[in-house]
């Protein structure tokens, strides 16, 4: 029977040891690989985040310098007209607001000052007039979606700029204007009599984020992860357009709900009010680990089979074949044939010891048979 074969009995321990080694190695490498894959994913997120944060920082720094220069020009233009003051109510695009005067020259519904500033410095400029607790655009070249000037619209009452203005402070930073991010500057206008601002000087530049859209669009994490950018109002601005997760609705859902089967990293973008989100499903790591574990296991089994083949050849040449020859000699000896050549007597191992014992036995039988034949 095969199970009683000496070769099988010799190879089974080797096979068991090899399989145990392969399994233990695969499990050990899977654990190490799990940590490595997660570390690589986290490093990828960190690297992409650092690059994007740096891009934001440089963009903001450059644009703020332009904003400060434009603000100086706007104030020079209005200072040249005379001192500021508040006038009677006027209608601005269907809304009532106080007239804003510089040197008794009304600015509501006129655009010479704001347009002269932007003709030199580009960007946008606005003169706000106080209307109760609100500030209304009475002169501006900020455009609405339909292309018309955004006069009659008010400064966001919940935004960061108005909070600083109400404190009597200037504000420089990124704000959302009519649904678009602008790098802006706001400075309060006083008439010298009223402790509250009668208006606001504004200049700003709409952020050109096409390069950012390209960078984020080409970014993803592992197979199914994504990178996304949300503005201060939680609106999804840019997101990955490569990888398995590109649907905006799914990206928004994962970013907001942060499900347990996803790893989600959120970072605030200083000075912008944006939120940078990087996320990937944990199943991506499990899939990579499974794939690599199977590859390692397959390679281990191949090595195991090669070792078994080599071991089988060695067992046959070094053990089984000599044992078979000695068995044949012993069988011949039992039949009275003692003139067999036993080459295994030259071996220095246990088989050589057995071969020499059989040779002595064969010689003893031969001598005994010779003595018996002489009687």
| 190 to 1, 62, 187, 200: CA distances (angstroms) | 108, 29, 10, 9
Average pLDDT over residues 313-327: 70
Answer yes or no: is 97 within a domain: yes
User: Domain range holding 143?
Assistant: 82-208
Answer yes or no: is 94 within a domain: yes
CATH number at residue 190: 3.30.450
Q: Taking the model in full, what pTM does it have? A: 0.62
Residue pLDDT, tens place only, 129-139: 998 889 999 99
Q: Which of 159, 88, 90, 100 is nearest to 127 (CA)?
A: 100
Token pair belonging to 74: 């706007």
Answer yes or no: is 158 within a domain: yes
Answer yes or no: is 19 within a domain: no
Residue pLDDT, tens place only, 55-110: 888 888 888 899 999 999 999 999 999 999 999 999 998 888 999 999 989 999 99
Q: What is the pLDDT, as a whole number, of residue 169?
A: 93
What is the spatial distance between Cα 244 and Cα 221, in angstroms, rounded to a whole number? 10
Report the DSSP pairing between strands 180-189 and 105-106.
unpaired
Answer yes or no: is 192 within a domain: yes
Average pLDDT over residues 278-288: 81
Answer yes or no: is 358 within a domain: no
Residue pLDDT, tens place only, 194-242: 888 999 999 998 876 676 777 777 777 777 888 888 887 788 888 888 7
Number of domain units in the chain = 1
Report the DSSP pairing between strands 95-102 and 84-92.
antiparallel
CB–CB of 66/205 below 8 Å? yes
Answer yes or no: is 252 within a domain: no
Answer yes or no: is 232 within a domain: no
């Amino acid at each position: 029977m095969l199970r009683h074969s000496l070769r099988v009995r010799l190879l089974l321990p080797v096979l068991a040891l090899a399989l145990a080694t392969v399994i233990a190695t695969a499990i050990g490498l899977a654990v190490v690989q799990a940590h490595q894959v997660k570390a690589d994913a986290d490093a990828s997120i960190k690297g992409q985040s650092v690059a994007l944060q740096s891009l934001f920082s440089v963009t903001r720094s450059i644009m703020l310098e332009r904003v400060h220069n434009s603000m100086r020009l706007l104030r020079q233009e209005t200072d040249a007209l005379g001192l500021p003051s508040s006038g009677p109510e006027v209608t601005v695009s269907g809304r009532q607001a106080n007239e804003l005067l510089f040197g008794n020259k009304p600015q509501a519904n006129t655009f010479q000052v704001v347009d002269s500033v932007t003709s030199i410095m580009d960007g946008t400029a606005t003169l706000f007039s106080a209307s109760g607790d609100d500030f209304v655009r009475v002169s501006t070249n900020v455009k609405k979606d339909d292309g018309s000037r955004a006069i009659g619209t008010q400064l966001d009452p919940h935004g960061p700029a108005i909070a600083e203005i109400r404190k009597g402070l200037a504000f420089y930073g990124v704000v959302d204007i009519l649904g678009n991010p602008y790098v802006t500057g706001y400075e309060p206008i006083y008439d010298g009599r009223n402790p509250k601002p009668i208006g606001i000087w504004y200049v700003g530049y709409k952020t050109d984020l096409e390069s950012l859209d390209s960078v984020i669009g080409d970014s993803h994490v592992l197979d199914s992860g994504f990178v996304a950018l949300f503005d201060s109002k939680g609106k999804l601005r840019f997101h990955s357009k490569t990888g398995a997760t590109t649907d905006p609705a799914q990206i928004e859902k994962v970013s907001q709900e942060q499900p347990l089967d996803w790893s989600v990293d959120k970072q605030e973008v200083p000075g912008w009010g944006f939120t940078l989100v990087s996320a990937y499903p944990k199943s991506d790591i499990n899939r990579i680990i499974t794939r690599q574990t199977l590859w390692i296991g397959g390679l281990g089994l191949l090595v195991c089979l090669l070792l078994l083949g080599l071991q089988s050849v060695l067992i046959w040449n070094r053990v089984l074949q000599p044992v078979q020859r000695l068995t044949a000699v012993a069988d011949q000896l039992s039949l009275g044939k003692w003139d067999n050549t036993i080459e295994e007597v030259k071996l220095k191992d246990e088989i050589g010891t057995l071969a020499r014992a059989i040779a002595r036995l064969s010689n003893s039988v031969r001598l005994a048979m010779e003595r018996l034949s002489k009687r």
